[in-house]
Amino acid sequence: MEQTLKRYGRRISILGLWQPGQGFEYALAQGGFKGDSYLEVMDWVAQKAAQTLAETGRITVVVQDNGSLHKSRLVQQQWSRWQEQGLFIFFLPPYCSEMNPIETQWRQLKGHEIAGRMFDNEYDLAMAVIDGMEARSTAGGYALKRFIFNCT
């Protein structure tokens, strides 16, 4: 599920995958996630799903809202490949984001870890988000992993 944190028209977007009580994986993008960056993260998730499927026989299910990126033609073309890797996408009913527990995590991050702070630039905001995610991980006792885009 993607969440956007804005500052004067510029933003940092975070895409997160949360397994309550176990772990939180996320990626940050300046501006927003586009088709290629979203696919890069989801391919990473699919690789991990394939490993889980091979080791345990369990599939991986990702719950998403109905954002246009999540259902774009480019993304839909990947669904069967991801399913072969053991990754299945489940969509919430339209306008029901409150049904997704990750929304609570985003509210906590915004309302506690970065609330009331001003940032001079996107880098400072991104670092505050990273620090906030680490603080939430420590307090919640779960593993945290950040996806870092390959910038070569």
The domains of the chain are located at: 2-147
Per CATH, domain 2-147 is 3.30.420: yes
Rounded CA gap, 27 and 129, in Å? Answer: 11
66-96, pLDDT tens digit by residue? Answer: 888 888 999 999 999 999 999 999 998 887 7
pTM for the complete prediction? 0.80
**Residues 100-132, buried b or exposed e (16+ Cβ, 10 A)?**
bebeebbeebeeebeeeeebeebeebbebbeeb
pLDDT in tens, 9-55: 467 888 888 888 788 999 998 888 888 889 999 999 999 999 999 99
Half-sphere exposure of 123 (CA within 13 A, CB side): 0
